[in-house]
Structure 1
Amino acid sequence: MDIPTRLFKWKFSAMMVAGIMTAAGMNHSAIAQEDATEFPIAVQMYTLRDFGDLEEQLAAVRRSGVQAIETVGTQGVSAEELDALLAEHELKVISSHVPLDDLRNRLDETVAFNRTVGNDVLTLPYLDEQARPTDAEGWQELGRELGDIASQLSEEGFRLAYHNHDFEMEILEDKTALEHMLDAAGPELLVELDVAWVARGGLDPAEYVTRVEDRLFAVHAKDNASQGTAEEERGFATLGQGVLDWDSLLPAIDRAGVEWYIIEHDMPLDAEAVITEGHDFLRSELATLSDE
């Protein structure tokens, strides 16, 4: 089933459920919660890192209407503790951000933790400056290493993805650093494309997504504020309230066959408002997209 067809069915199902619930006298919040289950939207927990303790963070995700998360490592708890909290708040994990050192040196433990909480995608979120290659050959070498790790994970029923920032958009020998890495890694290494960072790297996210459409696991759905504004939020904006052209970007992401839209903001002043408003924006836009 292709993505537009899925979106149509998601929307139709949500509308039918909402109509039944309205007739039964159920409130708008309950309808919103049910509607939210029909779209592949998640929240990156880094957005909520300063929002109370983990239980308060998960409660905020649930209030926003989102029912899936991407974790930051272990979230500082045991696998059993996280699994219990996920059950309590009716949330599921669709990816976990795992640093390169853990992929290299603690892969078995990382797999075991994520298997316990029901997650089967590990995503490399960031390269420290000293770990970043400086030329095309270095990026290709890193790609081959990540391709080998992806193959090991595949044997365990897991997948590996890579999350970009702006430095992977550097052009080296007529390709971006990210493309050099992906080409060398082979098809098992997937992409979690952060569209705001692509734009900050000087490229058009709607065009760039076509370069990785054969391996697009997810997008980090985030927005950039107008230049010189929102400096206290590192120049990021609530999704749909910034400068990215979502009218062209979302159809391009849709055509690429993305699996998940993951809401993120690097430094929000009001994290719960950011994920709630971001979810409302995405849900509305995806519903509109399914009508086209």
Structure 2
Amino acid sequence: MHSIGRILKSISILLGVAAVSTGAFASDQPTKNIAVQMYTLRNVGTVNEQFAMAHDAGFKSVELVGTQDLSSHEMNRLLKLYDLNVMAAHVQLTELQSNLDKVVAFNKAIHNRIIIMPWLDSSIRPTNKQGWQALGKELDRIGAKLKKHNMTLAYHNHDFEMKKFDGKTALEVMLNAAKNGNVKLEMDAAWVSRGGQDPVAMLHRLAGHVITIHVKDNSGIGTHDDERNFTVAGQGLLSWNDILLSAKAVGVKWFVVEHDLPKDPRSVITQANQFLQENL
């Protein structure tokens, strides 16, 4: 009996050591909510090659551009192949207005629950306060429908939403016209700055609205001119340490690497992922 007790105790100790070792290993793995926007990799061959590059750069999550011209079956096959999951998808306003059921079906099939309206063409872009309020109400209507499917609608800004009407940016006017639960924000900090606003101050003014943030930097005129003057976060003009602290403080859930026109996409996303892993 005593020998059996000693054996059981030894097994218990060994299991305990194994559990501690496993826990230590797990804690060293990337667990932060970091993703890459696939628009960054649009010029890298096929979607297969793009996902492979995202995987090799250390990403576990991606933000899609629409359906990437794939069926949900093929999307799931590639996601599984490269050990990736979809945290959000960019979908144009016209698609949300005319094919919402199709959008919902595709994104449910790939287990995505965040839909982001990424861009307003100049032909449909509001030019006054009333227009931005009307857009907010339209997005609220769409967001309410998505909410019934346990999905979230968000809006991605550029610089033109920083124009002010009666002391409020167009972005704020639009979001205030919608219910907070129906329309969230994916803040692009670099574009906020290019629009003349402070990303840190904007994050705090819109606390509760911002659920994701696009992570890239402005380089200024004269550097990276052939890359639309964008660069990797932490290598440009923005105070990314302050931005990240504020983003976490106001409840931002996802940090999404993006670059509008990278000459070397592999290097850009690898460096950006490393920056976030070290600074989040």
TM-score (norm 1): 0.86
Query: Does the residue aligned with 2:176 lie in a helix, a strand or coil?
Result: helix
Query: Does the residue aligned with 1:214 lie in a helix, a strand or coil?
Result: coil
Query: Does the residue aligned with 2:263 lie in a helix, a strand or coil?
Result: coil
1:117 equivalent to 2:110? Answer yes
Gaps of 5+ in 1: 1-14, 22-30, 287-292
**Structure 1 runs, 4 residues or longer, greater than 2 Å off:** 15-21
1:241 equivalent to 2:235? Answer yes
Q: 1:199 to 1:18 in 2, by over 3 A?
A: farther
Query: Does the residue aligned with 2:256 lie in a helix, a strand or coil?
Result: strand
CA distance in 1: counterparts of 2:59 and 2:142, whole angstroms: 31
1:167 equivalent to 2:167? Answer no
Gaps of 5+ in 2: 1-19
Q: Quote the residue 2:16 is aligned against.
A: none
Structure with the larger helix share: 1
1:189 equivalent to 2:177? Answer no
CA offsets 1:257-292 (integer angstroms, 9 cap, x no match): 101000000000111111110000011011xxxxxx
Q: Percent identity?
A: 42
Query: Does the residue aligned with 1:101 lie in a helix, a strand or coil?
Result: helix
1:257 equivalent to 2:248? Answer no
Q: 1:85 to 1:137 in 2, by over 3 A?
A: same
Q: Quote the residue 1:134 is aligned against.
A: 127
CA distance in 1: counterparts of 2:267 and 2:24, whole angstroms: 27
Cα distance, 1:172 vs structure 2? 1.0
TM-score (norm 2): 0.90
Amino acid of the structure 1 residue aligned with 2:212: A
- RMSD after superposition: 1.6
Matches within 5 A, 1:48-197: 48-187=41-180, 188-197=182-191
8 A Cα contact 2:233 2:240, kept in partner: no
CA offsets 1:167-212 (integer angstroms, 9 cap, x no match): 0000111100000000001112000000000000011111111111
Cα distance, 1:18 vs structure 2? 8.8
CA distance in 2: counterparts of 1:261 and 1:20, whole angstroms: 24
CA distance in 2: counterparts of 1:51 and 1:153, whole angstroms: 32
CA distance in 2: counterparts of 1:91 and 1:45, whole angstroms: 12
Larger radius of gyration: 2
1:215 equivalent to 2:213? Answer no
8 A Cα contact 1:239 1:274, kept in partner: no
